[in-house]
């Protein structure tokens, strides 16, 4: 049985932190896992910026509530879920994801969580488990699923390596070049074509 595991941001919705950067004017927050491969380094930097600028959880949630799925994402995701088992596997946080999941008709999401103080400031983050994306794939394969994994960033690579089939979706040029053993696609129609071959098996 096939199961699709896909990242969320950059695949179905815009990058949250880039939108926060644009709304707040804080250019440092534009950095994502497409730019920095060490996730802890990236998140520690983000939390320090939020602390310095006095931005709390509600400031970020207000930005997220204005965001919509990428063009074509809802239709494509419905097509996938009508034909395959599907899980979003993301390094985002429960406290961020809900408005976006609602707009995508609430697919299953495995992600992380934030530690928030009584004043609404984000003081730390908590991984569900280290290298959690890879562990999801490993667990599903141990249940005899054939796993097709889709991502676009450095933090997706171990997931793609662990899967039976790894696919890069709209990767930046440096990731495409560095990990060119994975097929790279840029359109949802290409994504459909890639998956249709599995429907015949």
In a domain, 121, yes or no: yes
Catalytic residue ranges: 7, 9
In a domain, 174, yes or no: yes
Tens of pLDDT along 140-163? 999 999 999 999 999 999 999 999
In a domain, 56, yes or no: no
Split into its structural domains, the chain has a count of 1
Strand-pair partners of 150: 6, 167
Q: Which of 146, 92, 136 is nearest to 114 (CA)?
A: 92
From residue 201, how far is each of 1, 168, 198 by CA, in Å? 10, 22, 5
In a domain, 125, yes or no: yes
Domain with residue 174: its CATH number is: 3.40.50.1000
CB atoms within 10 A of CB 95: 18
- Decide: 156 and 7 in contact? Cβ < 8 Å: yes
pTM above 0.85, yes or no: yes
Tens of pLDDT along 7-22? 999 999 999 999 999 9
Tens of pLDDT along 50-106? 999 999 999 999 999 999 999 999 999 999 999 999 999 999 999 999 999 999 999
Which residues touch 188 (CB under 8 Å, ≥6 apart)? Answer: 72, 73, 75, 76
In a domain, 158, yes or no: yes
| Mean predicted lDDT score pLDDT of the chain | 94
Q: Which residues span the domain enclosing 127? A: 2-17+66-199
User: Radius of gyration of the chain from Cα atoms?
Assistant: 17
In a domain, 117, yes or no: yes
In a domain, 84, yes or no: yes
In a domain, 136, yes or no: yes
């Amino acid at each position: 049985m096939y199961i699709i595991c896909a990242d969320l941001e950059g695949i179905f919705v815009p990058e949250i932190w880039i939108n926060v950067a644009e709304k707040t004017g804080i250019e440092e927050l534009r950095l994502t896992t497409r730019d920095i491969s060490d996730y802890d380094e990236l998140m520690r930097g983000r939390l320090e910026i939020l602390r310095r600028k006095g931005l709390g959880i509600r400031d970020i949630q207000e930005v997220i509530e204005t965001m919509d799925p990428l063009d074509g994402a809802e239709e494509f995701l419905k097509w996938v879920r009508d034909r395959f088992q599907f899980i979003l596997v993301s390094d985002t946080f429960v406290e961020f994801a809900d408005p976006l999941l609602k707009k995508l008709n609430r697919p299953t999401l495995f992600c992380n969580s934030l530690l928030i103080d009584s004043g609404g400031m984000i003081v730390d983050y908590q991984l569900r488990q280290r290298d959690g994306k890879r562990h999801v794939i490993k667990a599903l394969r141990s249940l005899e699923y054939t796993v097709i994994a889709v991502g676009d960033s450095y933090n997706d690579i171990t997931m793609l390596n662990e899967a039976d089939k790894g696919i890069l979706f709209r990767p930046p040029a440096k990731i495409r070049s560095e990990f060119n053993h994975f097929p790279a696609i840029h359109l949802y129609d290409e994504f459909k074509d890639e998956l249709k071959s599995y429907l015949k098996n």
